[in-house]
Chain A
């Protein structure tokens, strides 16, 4: 596990929640952290270079801006999953795919522009792999994000 300075910890804890939308946002955020604007910028640069911070900026809900997503699950025999996963992954609409420890062992997310395109792609993949797909679109989001106090 990475060791962090107290300043880095404060930055991570505070800026996970919010970063100001102002003309000099680093200056404004630095004030409550009791460091200078330059220090804050340098620290964030450094945290990103070390891979401790993976994103910094606006976090959009792409779905709300148009576009359809659907979580899908398939139950495939233990010796068959590599072949089926390869077929699934070949579709550019497949954003990610995980092997999980369950009867439903392949879990992937489809991302398309429209509802119609989504159901077309689902049908296409289902035909291609020869297994039924469990379509589990999000009906409601209660929370997304992870607040890790360090």
Chain B
């Protein structure tokens, strides 16, 4: 039986740029193509597969500026506002995270992108408007330096590659 992990490992580097990429992968996995299609739909249903698609390099498209914004939102409203923030095209990641009061009161994180510092600031102001008075306090954390960056991948032994 081919596991989710097997499918992920064989596809996480991307699709073959051949006319029949799924058939290529299915052959590698030793299953038939229809089964692979079915498995992928099933993984999508369960959220293991987010989507199949293309990821552009946002730097090369001119979106060179980004900021991590953190928000202290009423617990009752945080999910509603998180969904709303997530729908904005300038937001790439939007998560709810635990607070550690008094040091860290922020329960909502949103990564904001723009073509200029000015645009990022405008987008953040728009998010502030959208929070509709349910935000007690927010902060913007600009990144100063990338100190380490490796992708999140599964490796061959079945372990995670950190």
Shortest Cβ distance from residue B13 to the other chain A in the assembled complex, whole angstroms: 8
Complex contact A69–B152 (CB within 8 A):
yes
CB-CB nearest in chain A for B95: A138
Cβ contacts under 8 Å, A62 to chain B: 8, 152-154, 160
Q: Is the CB of A136 within 8 A of B49?
A: no
Q: How far is the CA of A85 from the CA of B147 in the complex (A)?
A: 7
B133 beta carbon closer than 8 Å to chain A: no
The interface residues of chain B lying within 8 Å CB-to-CB of A91 are 162
Contact among A19, A23, A92, A97 for B33, CB-based, below 8 A? A23
Taking CB atoms, residues of chain A closer than 8 Å to B160 are 62, 67, 111-113
Contact A65 B56 (CB under 8 A): no
Other-chain contact of A142, B83, B142, B145 (Cβ < 8 Å): B83
Closest to A143 in B: B86
With contacts A58-B15, A140-B82, A146-B92 taken as known, whether A16 is within 8 angstroms of B147 at the C-beta atoms is: no
Q: How many A-B residue pairs have CB under 8 A?
A: 249
Contact A15 B54 (CB under 8 A): yes
Does B17 lie within 8 Å of A45, measured CB to CB? yes
Across the two chains, which residue of chain B brings its CB closest to A93?
A: B162
- A19 to chain B: which residues have CB within 8 Å? 15, 52-54
Count of chain A residues near B, Cβ 8 A:
81
A15 to chain B, nearest CB (A): 4
Q: Given A18, A24, A37, which contacts B53 in the complex, CB threshold below 8 Å?
A: A18
Residues of chain A in range 27-70 having any CB-CB distance to chain B below 8 Å: 27, 37, 41, 44-45, 50-62, 64-67, 69
Name which residue of chain A comes closest to B103, CB basis. A134
- Asked whether, in the complex, the Cβ of B143 is within 8 Å of the Cβ of A99, the reply is yes
Note all chain B residues with C-beta closer than 8 A to A142: 79, 82-83, 85-86, 94-96
Q: Are B162 and A111 in contact (CB under 8 A)?
A: yes
Assess whether B48 is interfacial by the CB under 8 Å rule.
yes
